[in-house]
Structure 1
Amino acid sequence: MVFAALHRIYAGFFNPPQAPKRDDAIRFGLLGASNIAPIALITPARAHSEVIIAAVAARDRSRAEAYAKKHDIPIVHSSYEDLLNDPTIDAVYIALPNGLHFEWALRAINAHKHVLLEKPSCSNAQEAKTLFNHPLLKAPNAPVLLEAFHYRFHPAWQTFLSLIHDNTMAGPVKDAFAQQYAPKGMFSNDDIRWRYDLSGGALMDFGTYPLSCLRQILREEPTEVLQAQGRFDLPSKPGTQDQPAEQAMTATYKTESGATGHLVADLATSSSWIKALPGFGWPKCKVELEEKDLGSSDGETRSVKRTATMWNHLMPTVYHRIDVEDTHTIRRDGKVVKTWKEPQSLKAYSWSPEDGRRVTGEDWWTTYLYQLHEFVNKVKKRDGSGVWVDGQDSIKQMEAIDRTYEKAGMKLRPTSTFKL
């Protein structure tokens, strides 16, 4: 088990098998010399025969040159505009500060480039509606635009969803909980995540994941935010009125059917024992389902109530576990005569042949590699696993973020003034 985990980590994140490149491979350019690109795109691209990381541009050319040398990227452009004007580039990966996503995604699709866009897609719902409903994306042979919620593409997450949306053994969702933590000190006090003007904040960073999870688990958009509260640990800058973005956010949502969802996102988690020390918690989603009637015979009725928990949906290649517990009950004349529990634990590192997916995958494939395969399939107009994040989904995600900030009594992230 330990050897298998080490192999998955080594092959998935550090040294994947090198795939020979096809002549029609998609040539990617990177907007920004970001810290996330190596794990999110550069390394996965090595294992994909139809992807080449061909160029990079950064605000500082010397930084871009050093980045290109480190990651064997052949072309360095002096500006983002120069990269978008490069006719040899087919697609761009945008991992700029959140506040720049809207502008450069719009510029990229106007330049007829496919776009893999880091989450959150935009700063607010107004920007998201403008971007994803833009006429450029409605035209024939329009560029592909994908908000990079990578965890959704992994078989583990889809297996988890199938277990809670199983109509044969599971009732409707009653209550859901999703958490995402980063230990205190992981991000410095001057990190751009704390800059409101760049659309930072816990909900706009790690918080996008548990919110996305809740929306998929509930299968309904939250119609009401029952509670939302941000935590601010950093002081305003001396001599200014600038308020840093929140370091943590908690929220509770309710759907039209009455199901509830609870979100915890903390980018500066303290130890539960000593507050001065960093804390840690696995990414986690837990779901309680309504009791389901399985029918009756001989005067007895049988029902089942399921709970399901997924551990580490964000990095399932390293390790994950899906715990399911079904509580069965037999009643006669409304009285319980027998009850028992059936627990099980599952893992899904690759698609099962029984899934009927067009992408099989390997145990060491990361969420990012699964995502990249689907992006390529979409560009090449091929069927794949069937997993995707469409534009309306991205708009609804930003609408839920806006409503959360409003409930917390906080300002929405600022809207870009850029127009084509």
Structure 2
Amino acid sequence: MSSFFRRLYLGSISPPLVVKEHDALRIGLLGASNIAPEAVILPARSHPEVIIYCVAARDRNRANIYAKKHNIPVVHDTYDDVINDPSISCVYLALPNSHHFEWALRALKAGKHVLLEKPSTSNAIEAKKLFDHPLVTACDAPVLLEAFHYRFHPAWQTFLDLIHNDPSAGPIKNVYSQSFMPKGNFPDNDIRFKYSLAGGCLMDFAAYNISHVRQMLDDPHPRVQSVVFRTHEHSSTTSPVEGENPEQVDEAVSASYISQTGAIGHVVADMNSRGGWPLLPRSWTQNWPSIGWPKCTAELEEKLIDDHTTHGEKHLVQRVVTLYNHIFPHVYHCITIEDKHIIRLGSEDLRSWVERKNVKAYTWPGDSEDCHGMEWWTTYRYQLEEFVNRIKARHGNGLWISREDSISQMEVIDETYRKGDLKLRPTSTFDIDDGLKE
């Protein structure tokens, strides 16, 4: 229990403040966002090569209050002032989804490296335009990273290794990812529920689940089989803003996918979860907030084990691996491994038994000069480490999210919307050349 509180305190409450190097990267924040403290401000405290230098928001007064609260030395009047500030080399972009495409391009045009909150853009059209733009593909282009932070944590990579590379791991059969946020956590006027700002569960909460399934299936572009959405209009108690199209905003999704090998992936996500309380009448609890463990599960096919103790018999193992708390494994996580062993002669199973064990991975195994980390490092701190390594042209641990990966992610999201008969999120009309002539 003491290690839990230590991780929580050092990682998410008060990370140690280290002495900054003379050539530390200075980051400007676009937007006084709720996510920035956890995503970059706190992680930067313990990184000797990162300084959070400036911020701008739509409301200057809000930016001033935000800067004072988080000890940010400079407040700018506009986003343009941030990206054109010669004192910074990087931008953290956590504006509403609908603004990602435009301001990522503007920042890249200004020569700034960009840490871009997920999802990278509003849809696949924008993703292709962004990641295929010469500002990104040029050999001397600034670094652009879509911030799927969980992928940089040892727990997630250990989980993937157990289902893809372990000697007992057979081919993938079924995978599943779920996430729930209790009803009322986000108000009805939250940007997540605004179509014009590219809101929706797939564009926020479920983006993680789709990312999980794509990796577990080891297929960047699985085909959508079925989709059921619950849209925000069904639960909203306030009058929608004109033009917001609440009937097009998904607050929950259940979807299935099939990989090129025939493996099946399932996604269940709800960012307004309610009901489902056991032992109580549904009529009482159908609108009560509810929650469930965020988890990923992979069920594998049988794998033949090289076992010299058997005589004419086959020793097979069928594995099921579950990662609990896939989004924030730095707070707490547990990887459960269940291996069912089968001794088979011909078509007859002679005997079987199950072996279970739990695994945790807060740091990288062994000693490696390329894989740094502390037990209390958050997913965001691990991500920041690799972002800086890439800017500094260091190899690091080799983890990265490629442009192809980011494009495929948005393509799968778009195809899920189409299959579920919802509109794609609106495409920006911004043109980088025209926009910068204004």
TM-score when normalising by structure 2: 0.93
2:259 maps to 1:267: no
- Given that 1:271 and 1:280 are in contact with CA atoms closer than 8 Å, whether structure 2 keeps it comes out as no
Match of 1:278 among 286, 289, 295: 289
Aligned match of 1:370: 382
Aligned match of 1:249: 253
CA distance in 1, matches of 2:106, 2:117: 15
Matching of residues 289-304 of structure 1 within 5 Å: 289-295=300-306, 297-304=310-317
- Given that 1:26 and 1:50 are in contact with CA atoms closer than 8 Å, whether structure 2 keeps it comes out as yes
Matching of residues 33-112 of structure 1 within 5 Å: 33-112=32-111
**CA shift at 1:99, angstroms?**
0.4
SS at 2:180 equivalent: strand
Aligned match of 2:429: 417
CA distance in 1, matches of 2:86, 2:241: 47
- Given that 2:83 and 2:107 are in contact with CA atoms closer than 8 Å, whether structure 1 keeps it comes out as yes
CA distance in 1, matches of 2:231, 2:135: 39
- Given that 2:220 and 2:405 are in contact with CA atoms closer than 8 Å, whether structure 1 keeps it comes out as no
Amino acid at match of 2:168: M
**CA shift at 1:223, angstroms?**
3.9
SS at 1:170 equivalent: coil
**CA shift at 1:390, angstroms?**
1.0
2:174 maps to 1:161: no
Aligned match of 1:152: 151
2:334 maps to 1:321: yes
Match of 1:381 among 390, 393, 400: 393
State how many pairs are aligned: 418
CA distance in 1, matches of 2:333, 2:66: 32
Aligned match of 2:4: 5
Amino acid at match of 1:368: Y
CA distance in 1, matches of 2:84, 2:251: 38
Q: Deviations over 1:114-135 (max 9, x none)?
A: 0000000000001000101111
CA distance in 1, matches of 2:42, 2:172: 37
- Given that 1:351 and 1:357 are in contact with CA atoms closer than 8 Å, whether structure 2 keeps it comes out as no
**CA shift at 1:389, angstroms?**
0.6
Amino acid at match of 1:251: A
**CA shift at 1:333, angstroms?**
2.8
2:422 maps to 1:407: no
CA distance in 2, matches of 1:74, 1:197: 33
- Given that 1:222 and 1:253 are in contact with CA atoms closer than 8 Å, whether structure 2 keeps it comes out as no
CA distance in 1, matches of 2:337, 2:100: 38
Question: How much identity, in percent, do the aligned residues show?
Answer: 53
Aligned match of 1:308: 321
Unaligned ranges ≥5, structure 1: none
The 1:326–1:357 alpha-carbon spacing in structure 2 relative to 1, beyond 3 Å, is: farther
SS at 2:142 equivalent: coil
**CA shift at 1:302, angstroms?**
1.1
**CA shift at 1:294, angstroms?**
1.9
CA distance in 2, matches of 1:68, 1:271: 40
2:343 maps to 1:339: no
CA distance in 2, matches of 1:177, 1:210: 8
The 1:241–1:372 alpha-carbon spacing in structure 2 relative to 1, beyond 3 Å, is: closer
- Given that 2:214 and 2:222 are in contact with CA atoms closer than 8 Å, whether structure 1 keeps it comes out as no
CA distance in 2, matches of 1:130, 1:239: 30
**CA shift at 1:222, angstroms?**
4.0
**CA shift at 1:168, angstroms?**
1.8
Aligned match of 2:176: 177
What root-mean-square deviation, in Å, do the aligned CA atoms of Structure 1 and Structure 2 show?
1.4
Q: Deviations over 1:212-239 (max 9, x none)?
A: 0000110013442111121024358468
Unaligned ranges ≥5, structure 2: 278-284, 433-438
**CA shift at 1:295, angstroms?**
4.3
- Given that 1:173 and 1:287 are in contact with CA atoms closer than 8 Å, whether structure 2 keeps it comes out as yes
Q: Deviations over 1:129-160 (max 9, x none)?
A: 01011111222321000000000000011000
SS at 1:373 equivalent: helix
